[in-house]
Amino acid sequence: MAADHKSGISISGKEDLKDGNTNLTYSISGKCKRIDDKEVCDIIARAFKVWADVSLLTFRPVDADANIKLSFEDGDHFTEGDPTHSNPLSESETGGLIHFDDDENWKGMKDQSKGGINLFLAAVHEIGHVLGLPDKDFQKTSMYKSYANDKTFALNKAILK
């Protein structure tokens, strides 16, 4: 188990993390219909930076064989209509997966229109799940049980406990 003393985040399960490796990789597959590839990459990198800033973890994009695999998928493969699905790294076979339902109205950082789901907020939330954090009842925090649909954002220290 890799214990992160900066934030209290603990990661366990995957063989490559049991040795205390805090240098994690991620990859993005599929295309988001509503946001161009460069902006998706920028948003995802920014979401990982949020977690890197409050932990001893580092995250680096790679093309293949990543610890964390993000994808945009079409069709009904999510639970109860959820726009995303993620599996903690501790799950042996499926750990480290984050799926974004590409049928949703994903919004980029510059999109000021009403409605839709802010990809940055969703990515920060789902990365938290991959790192082993559960949903929280604190509103206006990244791990609140539903995504905020505004520009407010907080990574409250209470979610890291």
What whole-number percentage of the chain has pLDDT above 90? 34
5 among annotated binding-site residues: no
Does 18 score more than 80 pLDDT? no
Does 130 score more than 80 pLDDT? yes
The whole-number pLDDT of residue 24 equals 93
Does residue 104 or residue 78 have the better pLDDT?
104
Average pLDDT of the chain is 77
pLDDT tens per residue, range 133-148: 887 777 667 777 766 5
The whole-number pLDDT of residue 20 equals 67
Does 29 score more than 90 pLDDT? yes
Among the CATH numbers 3.40.50.300, 3.30.590.10, 3.30.2130.10, 3.40.390.10, which is that of 2-160?
Answer: 3.40.390.10
104 among annotated binding-site residues: yes
Structure-derived torsion over alpha carbons of residues 115, 140, 54, 111, reported in degrees to the nearest 10: 20
Would you call 80 a catalytic residue per the annotation?
A: no
Average pLDDT over residues 124-134: 89
CA distances from 55 to 2, 73, 123, 152 (A): 11, 29, 17, 21
Listed residue (41, 153, 149, 30) closest to 101, CA to CA: 30
Does 149 score more than 60 pLDDT? no
Q: Three-class SS of residue 78?
A: coil
CA distances from 56 to 39, 69, 78, 147 (A): 26, 20, 31, 25
The whole-number pLDDT of residue 154 equals 56
In the set 39, 73, 91, 126, the catalytic residue is: 126
The whole-number pLDDT of residue 96 equals 86
pLDDT tens per residue, range 47-69: 999 999 988 899 999 998 899 99
8 among annotated binding-site residues: no
Most confident of 16-20, 84-88, 112-116: 112-116
Residue spans of the domains in the chain: they are: 2-160
CA distance 141 to 153: 6
